[in-house]
Structure 1
């Protein structure tokens, strides 16, 4: 197979697909990852081909996340991305012409994959580390925080038509001007081809999200996609190693690309005061500016560090609830507190609590020194959380998500 994998977003949106590409290469297939330019070095280090797309979009998002004061600013920022999105569609098509794939795997945020596969007459596979694309009565689309009656749960997945409604004009211009394809309906969900549902790979664990009872055979829950074991060999700064080797529990706190930088100073002070109220120590990751803090005897501030390396070395993790960060915390067997901000993050916060691996989620907009301290104290001193997290880690470790995904892709490629 020659597989073109297209994705867009932050590191949590890139790493699973880099892991899949690495596994495809190891098993003798050609795999090329199409993603924003800042991830080229990490991807090529895996021996995987790289094609740039969405770099301008990535920079717009990063700039907005570090300076925005809330979701309203993020929405206004999105309105400026139209030209960058058009460029990304064209970049993906240019990449496909260079790669000449025989199968395309695409995150929905990349937008172009479905249409390029149609143009080339090759199989298309959607993929998302969230059970978002396949209707089920077991739970609503994960952007809805509470469950509904089964019929309403299934109906909520009509939200997937939003892409066609919001971007249909842009996509139709791309189809007609660049691909030579006919226009499609603005009510299309882009999840059906020739009247049948396109296959979907979900790189999540069935122990975290059990397979819904009404999922069709086209939906595959493969297990998480992690890079090979050798990629834990990260050279940590000596001061970080020293901090981690000292006595006492250490809590990781970080909100990744989320948090909106305009409130970073106040948010950082809340985190520090809460950690000190509990009597713990903390690794604080500033990420894209969601937190600002200074190192001290009981706090070590970093920009970021590979979760695969860092999480097994701390006692517990507190984060925003991105799917990749959630997976890394569970794989490390660490009890988790999620402070969701938007999107699918409340879904993962609820899953962690329902599984018994951490306290009730605490929305970031509601954190205060006392509320955060109470949750962290609960996180550290409830043995059942640690026991459940350790059990989940064993179950996740027994899965081989990338191998399961490769087998599924081989069947799809062969027409099975």
Structure 2
């Protein structure tokens, strides 16, 4: 079976598709991956030698525009609108051309739900399209739109209002291109665009999200790398630091740190000093000079699967990938959400009892973050509950479940 994949976004949107591509290829399919990386990550390079064909569309974008600086509004809809206006719509024609090639050359296409132009390409070419979401918050009508229910009538009304706004405003260029292909514009972006009529995959752990009941939807579990795609073992400097004392707190804001690195370093360093804890901070070492700090290690990158289980807690931004990595490690979290779906994951971890109340990045200070760190370390229930959550996730095989679901669709 020939299967084409297309994704668009930052590291958390690209890396899972790399993992899925490798899983599909190992299952005997011929796989092509088209990606658009906003933070110029290198994850697709890991597919070298696997047989997966990889193409990049758009970019490199460099660091001239920070996607997370576009999150000045607290509204996820307006955050998304700003992101798409800067990074998607200017290259919509290129994205559509790449999507049309995927549809012509493959039996099935699998796309990030935000890959709007792939939806058009699949309709034009009558190619079955699978839609992928990394957060259940993105599935229209399934969960309360504001994170907590205001009642069935109010929730439904808010979904309709949000759908109307997004349908009119998010993809003006993509909509025009669709009409130029002889197709009507979507009446509902949420139901006709983001979702697929044949198969929708939610790449999230059932242990982390509420029970979902939606048509043509499979919750697969997170897509974690196979051994061949795993990052290397811990460097000796990190291993030595871990051996030298008590389990540290790890602080990382993932791809968010790519841009506002200096501010992130100032916040994290100040919080660590005020909390008085051993810590490993993930930031550009050129910024993070720590002469004389024997209890503070700065590194540019570390393999999450190897490091997180050895940490007392992890301070992170609440991206879907990092959230799952911390939960699989059995570590409690302190979540500093920056935008997009991160506030939802932050609230979810708090509701599950593995993290204190979220500390939004726009209101975070070193003192407040230090307080959250002390709370998570001094409250035994966070660590105990995190261990129980890890046990519930141990048997999940997200990639295998996704490959199986796609295979069933292909077989009809």
TM-score range, shorter chain: 0.7 to 0.9
Deviation at 1:407, TM superposition (A): 1.8
* 1:23 corresponding residue in structure 2: 23
Asked if 1:386 corresponds to 2:383, the answer is yes
- The Cα of 1:126 is off from its aligned counterpart by 0.7
Task: List runs of 5+ in structure 2 lacking aligned partners.
Answer: 74-78
The alpha carbon displacement at 1:340 in A equals 1.0
1:35-59 alpha-carbon deviations (Å, 9 max, x no partner): 1374431233554321212x32x61
SS of 1:126 mapped into structure 2: strand
Which residue number in structure 2 is paired with residue 321 of structure 1?
318
Aligned equivalent of 1:251: 249
Verify the 8 A CA contact 2:279 2:295 in the aligned structure 1: yes
CA distance in 2: counterparts of 1:128 and 1:218, whole angstroms: 13
TM-score with structure 2 length normalisation? 0.86
What aligned pairs does 1:197-208 form with structure 2 within 5 A after superposition? 197-208=197-208
Tell me, in whole angstroms, the C-alpha distance in 2 between the residues paired with 1:260 and 1:51. Answer: 23
Residue 8 of structure 1 pairs with residue 8 of structure 2 = yes
How far the C-alpha of 1:331 sits from its partner, in A, is 1.0
* Deviation (angstroms), 1:392: 1.4
User: Which residue in the other structure is 1:182 paired with?
Assistant: 182
Count residues in correspondence.
398
CA distance in 1, matches of 2:328, 2:301: 18
Give CA-to-partner distance per residue, 1:82-112, whole Å, 9 cap, x none. 4333323323334444xx1111111122222
Tell me the CA shift for residue 129 of structure 1: 0.6
The counterpart of 1:147, out of the listed 146, 149, 164, is 149
Residues 368 and 237 (structure 1), Cα distance of their counterparts in 2 relative to 1, 3 Å cut: same
Q: Which residue of 1 aligns with 2:76?
A: none
Question: 2:190 and 2:363 mapped to 1: Cα distance?
Answer: 37
Distance 1:89 1:306 in 2: 35
- Counterpart of 2:115 in structure 1 is 110
What's 1:353 paired with?
Answer: 350
Matched, 1:124 2:122: no
Taking the aligned partners of 1:154 and 1:414, their CA distance within structure 2 comes to 36
Whole-Å Cα distance in 1 between the matches of residues 278 and 316 of structure 2? 16
Partner of 1:93: 100
Can you list the C-alpha shifts for 1:355-408, whole angstroms capped at 9, x where unaligned?
A: 111111111222223221111011122221112111211211211111111221
Deviation at 1:192, TM superposition (A): 3.3
Q: Which residue of 1 aligns with 2:61?
A: 59
Q: 5 Å matches for 1:187-266?
A: 187-189=187-189, 191-192=191-192, 197-212=197-212, 215-232=213-230, 234-258=232-256, 261=259, 264-266=261-263
Distance in 2 between residues matched to 1:368 and 1:102, nearest whole Å: 51
Distance 1:136 1:95, change over 3 A: closer
RMSD: 3.0
How far does residue 251 in structure 1 lie from its aligned partner after superposition? 0.9
Moved more, 83-92 or 199-208: 83-92
Unaligned regions of 5+ residues in structure 1, if any? none
